[in-house]
Amino acid sequence: PMNYSAIQVLGNRRYAAQNSKGLWGLYDAVGNLILPHEFTEIQPFQSGKSVAAKGHLYGLLGPNGETVLEFTNSEVKWTGEAFR
């Protein structure tokens, strides 16, 4: 059985689950793993994209797990109209 420290709803029929090491993975609505547990943070989707972090570097993910913005940024924020 799966055992997670936390599960959060991200929107777009996607969920994030945190493992015992504190890392997040991306899952679809039926529990299939889309991306492995390698993220220190995954935020809910805004305008079809999720801000995520690997260590201290941020990037953007699409709902199918694709990298929309590489994980090379010290921060990425949703301003209500665009990501910066």
Task: Let me know how long the chain is.
Answer: 84
For residue range 48-81, what is the model confidence (pLDDT) as tens digits? Answer: 999 999 999 999 999 999 999 999 999 999 998 8
CA distance 57 to 38: 12
Q: Is the CB of residue 25 less than 8 Å from the CB of residue 7?
A: no
Quickly state the pLDDT bin for 13 (edges 50, 70, 90). very high
Note if the pTM is more than 0.85: yes
Average pLDDT, the chain: 95
